[in-house]
Amino acid sequence: MKLTVTRDAFRFAQAFTISRGSRTVAQVLTVAVEQGGATGRGECVPYARYGESLDSVTAQIEGLPPAFTRADLQRLLPAGAARNAVDCALWDLEAKQRRKRVWELAGLPAPVPLVTAYTLSLDTPAAMRASAAANAHRPLLKIKLGTPDDMPRLEAVRAGAPESRIIVDANEGWTAGVYADLAPHLERLGVAMVEQPLPAGQDEALAECARPVPVCADESVHDRGSLPGLAGKYDLINIKLDKTGGLTEALALRSAAGAAGFGIMVGCMAASSLAMAPAVLVAQGAAVTDLDGPLLLAEDRATPLVYDGAGVHPPSPDLWG
């Protein structure tokens, strides 16, 4: 087995802003695993919010032993970006070696296209209204919020896209008081879901607050070990492969969360089509799909995912799986 990790950068079509700051480039790590004449690939996004960097994640990957299985990997690395890229590369490798698609290997039905959210980054109300109007043809818009002054932004987006379904992502940026004040207005404006309104570890108030709009855990959930602490506070969970540590745990988390009564959202970091491809499998049947990373980029992989009126399509074998 030969494992290599490289750094790749993809320019955003325009600056992408959330409550934590702005970026113009998506920096990712690409892992390739070669064995027996076949090569599998995976991609991850190290995230500073979880104490990760390009250097630290590269070191984790390069510190793996010369040979290991996908089952071994679950013990060798913790949930996070490093395990994600390697896990997905191993799935891709097995698919190529066995001349089957990953969903066949995983015992899943053949995937179908999915309507995905399209994200409007945090900006002034006027700019967000203009962005909403330019994308009002999309069935599902996701708004990045997370400041004490979000009400004008929310009103502006609804005015710009009166027919679109809207979900809101606060990225841990609200206090319990801000959320309580905004919650009735979220309902009034037809918001379908609010994602991570309070900081992870400081979200106990959600158990006591009225939740007129379903609340989804993002930063508060990583893998199956997170689930017991979410009961009574959240209605859905956002599964991201960079948090779960790959497709293997993501599928297990989806099953466990569904059995525990949580709705499922499948999201992504800002990354290329290679990172989205395995997530399309996890998102089959999910209440919300948010796999728009490539739509926000000015450049992508040589064989990108197809996005059209039907949504995001499953990957071709040339891309992954």
Give catalytic residues, as residue numbers.
Answer: 144, 240
Residue 194 near residue 186, CB atoms below 8 Å: yes
Residue 319 near residue 301, CB atoms below 8 Å: yes
Which run of H or of E encompasses 103?
helix 102-105
Cβ-count burial 19-30 (b if 16+ within 10 Å, e if not) = beeeeeebebbb
Residue type, 109: P
Residue 293 near residue 271, CB atoms below 8 Å: yes
The DSSP secondary-structure symbol of 229 reads G
